[in-house]
Amino acid sequence: MKAFSTETVASAKAFQISPTDTNYFAILFDEAKDGIENIFVIEIFNRGGATPPNEHSHAHEFFYVLHGSGIAVCDGKELPIKKGDALLLNPGNEHVVRNTGDSKLYTLTVMTPNQGFAELIRGGTPVTLDEEDLRVLTGAA
């Protein structure tokens, strides 16, 4: 077993699950790359972007806002989120995260256990992080 794994945003593999989605993911750590039962990604929401409504039967989903602002909706309740906020969604609750800010919204998103999320992401279309993504995520913004 490896003592540790490392990744940089610049070298992370990034994917958009569906061509109509308004968010995409840079994979930091997952089972395919690191042999773990969780997935750690940077989730990037375009201006006005959102996750499709979804729920997880037995996985917890964690969001930590790195940059930007938005709204998390869970079972009809809305919660404003902004840089520095952390949000934990429990299994069995339909939810949406929506970018309501004037820039992209960036979150560290962790799903534990993975519950097929990594495979869903890796099954999407590869994308390249743009200059804005790299600037924000490396602290150059």
Q: What are 95-135's pLDDT values in tens digits?
A: 999 999 999 999 999 999 999 999 999 999 999 999 999 99
Do 114 and 83 contact (CB within 8 A), yes or no?
Answer: no
Q: Is the pLDDT of residue 41 over 80?
A: yes
**Closest Cα to residue 13, out of 1, 21, 25, 22?**
25
Mean pLDDT for 56-64 is 96
Mapping DSSP to helix (H, G, I), strand (E, B) and coil, where does residue 101 land?
Answer: coil
Indicate the pLDDT class of residue 75, thresholds 50, 70 and 90.
confident
Angle at 91 between CA 57 and CA 53, to 5 degrees: 80
Distance CA(98)–CA(102), nearest Å, equals 12
Alpha helices in the chain (DSSP H): 31-34, 117-122, 131-137
| CATH number of the 21-122 domain | 2.60.120.10
Mean pLDDT for 59-66 is 97
Indicate the pLDDT class of residue 140, thresholds 50, 70 and 90.
confident
pLDDT tens digits along 84-93: 999 999 999 9
- Where are any strands of DSSP class E within the chain? 14-16, 23-29, 39-45, 60-67, 69-74, 77-82, 86-89, 95-99, 105-112, 125-127
Instruction: Please tell me the predicted confidence (pLDDT) of residue 1.
Output: 61
Mapping DSSP to helix (H, G, I), strand (E, B) and coil, where does residue 87 land?
Answer: strand
pLDDT, mean over the chain: 95
